[in-house]
Chain A
Amino acid sequence: MEASARLTELGFNVVLVERQGRLGGHVDNWDFLFPDRKPAANILNPLKDAINYKVEVKLSSEISSIKKLNGQYVTSLSTGDFIKTDAILVATGFDLFDAVKKEEYGYGIYEKVITAADLEEYFSGKNGHKLLRKDGRGKIGILHCVGSRDEKAGNEYCSKVCCVTGVKQAMKLREYFPGYEVYCFYMDLRMFGRYFEDLYKEAQEKWGVQFIRGRVSEASETHDNKIMVKFEDTLAGKPMKISLDLVILLTGFVPAAGALQLKELLSLETGKDRFFKPVDEHLKRNHTSRQGVFLAGACTGPKSIAESITEARAVALEISSFLKNNE
Chain B
Amino acid sequence: MNIEGKRRIWKAYQKEIADDRYYYARSCIRQNFFPGSETAFLRILKEELGKDIHDDPRHTTCTGIAYHCDVIPFETTMTVVARQFSLMSEAGYTNYVPSCITSFGIYTEILETWHHFPEIEAKVREMLWKSTKREFSKPANLAHASDIIYKFRNEIAAKGKYRLINQHTGNPLRVVEHIGCHYSRMFPHKGVGGAEYPYVLAGMIESWGGEVVDYPERRHCCGFGFRQYLVKANRGYSAACSKKKFESMAPFTPDMIITNCPGCPYFLDRWQFVIAEMQGITYGTAGQGIPVFTYEEVAGLVLGYDPWDLGLQTHQVAVEPLLDKLGIPYDPEMKYKAEGGRFIGTPEYPEVLKVC
List of A residues within 8 angstroms of B251 by Cβ: 222-224
Complex alpha-carbon distance, A218 and B214, angstroms: 13
B218 at the interface (CB under 8 A from A): yes
Residue of A nearest to B7 (CB): A109
Q: Could you count the A-B residue pairs with CB atoms below 8 Å apart for me: how many are there?
A: 46
**Selected interface stretch from A53-61, A100-108, A301-309:** A100-108
Check B194 against A110 for contact (C-beta < 8 Å): no
CB distance from A191 to the nearest CB of B (A): 32
| A62-121 CB contacts (< 8 Å) to partner B | 100, 103-104, 106-111
Contacts of B218 in A (CB 8 A): 220
- Give chain B residues whose Cβ lies under 8 Å from the Cβ of A109: 1-2, 5-6, 9, 197
What residue in chain A is nearest B1 (Cβ atoms)? A221
Complex CA gap A221/B248 in Å reads: 11
Q: With A103-B196, A103-B197, A109-B1 as given contacts, are A223 and B252 in contact (CB-CB < 8 Å)?
A: yes
Give A63 Cβ to nearest chain B Cβ, in Å.
30
On whether the beta carbons of A110 and B2 are closer than 8 Å, the reply is: yes
Q: Tell whether, in the assembled complex, residue A222 and residue B216 are in contact, meaning their CB atoms are under 8 Å apart.
A: yes
Q: CA A107 – CA B8 in complex, angstroms?
A: 11
Is the C-beta of B215 less than 8 angstroms from some C-beta in chain A? yes
Does B219 sit at the interface, judged by CB under 8 A?
Answer: yes
Instruction: Answer yes or no: A228 CB below 8 A from chain B CBs.
Output: yes
> In angstroms, how far is the closest chain B Cβ from the Cβ of A75?
35
How close is B196's CB to chain A, nearest CB, in angstroms? 4
| Contact across chains for A108 and B2 when beta carbons are under 8 A apart | yes
Chain A 209-266 interface residues, beta-carbon cutoff 8 Å to B? 218, 220-224, 228, 241
Q: Which residues of B contact A108 (CB under 8 A)?
A: 2, 4-5, 8
Q: How far is the CA of A178 from the CA of B84 in the complex (A)?
A: 64
Q: How far is the CB of A216 from chain B (nearest CB, A)?
A: 13
Q: A109-B1, A109-B5 are in contact. Are A218 and B194 (CB under 8 A)?
A: no
Instruction: Determine which of A100, A218, A223, A241 lies in contact with B215 in the assembled complex, contact meaning CB atoms within 8 Å.
Output: A223
Q: In the complex the two chains form, is A220's CB within 8 Å of B8's CB?
A: no
- Per the bound structure, the CA–CA distance linking A104 and B216 in Å amounts to 11
For residues 51 through 109 of chain B, which have their beta carbon under 8 Å from a beta carbon of chain A? none
The residue on B at minimum CB distance from A241 is B216
Chain A contacts for B2, CB-based, 8 A: 108-111
Given the complex, which residues of B lie within 8 Å of A220, measured CB to CB? 214-219
Q: How far is the CA of A221 from the CA of B217 in the complex (A)?
A: 10
Question: Which residues of A sit under 8 angstroms from B5, Cβ to Cβ?
Answer: 100, 106-110
Bound state CA distance, A224 and B1, in angstroms? 11
Least CB distance from B233 to A in Å reads: 22
Interchain CB contact (< 8 A) of A221 among B4, B195, B216: B216
Which residues of B sit under 8 angstroms from A218, Cβ to Cβ?
196, 219
State in angstroms the CA–CA spacing of A108 and B6 once bound together: 8
What is the CA–CA distance of A100 and B197 in the complex, to the nearest angstrom? 13
B202-253 contacts to A, CB under 8 A, are 214-219, 251-252
Nearest CB on A from B353, distance (A): 24
Task: Give residues 1-32 of B contacting A (CB, 8 Å).
Answer: 1-2, 4-6, 8-9
**Chain A, 115-148, contact with B by CB distance < 8 Å: what is the 0/1 string?**
0000000000000000000000000000000000
- Kindly state the separation between the CA atoms of A220 and B219 in the bound complex, as whole angstroms: 10
B183 CB to closest chain A CB (Å) equals 16
Q: How far is the CA of A224 from the CA of B216 in the complex (A)?
A: 11
Nearest Cβ on chain A to B251's Cβ, whole angstroms: 4
Q: Are A103 and B9 in contact (CB under 8 A)?
A: yes
Residues in B neighbouring A104, C-beta threshold 8 A: 196
**Nearest CB on A from B350, distance (A):** 28
Which residue of A has the minimal Cβ distance to B213?
A223
Nearest CB in chain A: distance from B68 CB, A: 22
Q: Which residues of B contact A107 (CB under 8 A)?
A: 5
Quick check: A110 and B1 within 8 Å, CB to CB? yes
Whose C-beta in chain B lies nearest to the C-beta of A111?
B2
A220 to B214, CA, bound (A): 8
* B-side contacts of A111, CB under 8 Å: 1-2
A223 to B214, CA, bound (A): 9
Contacts A/B (CB < 8 Å), 11 sampled: A103-B9, A103-B194, A103-B195, A107-B5, A109-B1, A109-B6, A110-B1, A110-B5, A218-B219, A220-B217, A221-B216
* Nearest 3 pairs of A and B residues by beta carbon: A109-B5, A108-B5, A103-B196
Beyond A108-B4, A109-B197, A223-B251, 8 additional contacts (C-beta under 8 Å) are A103-B196, A109-B5, A109-B6, A111-B2, A221-B1, A221-B216, A223-B215, A228-B216
- Give B contacts to A, CB under 8 Å: 1-2, 4-6, 8-9, 194-197, 214-219, 251-252
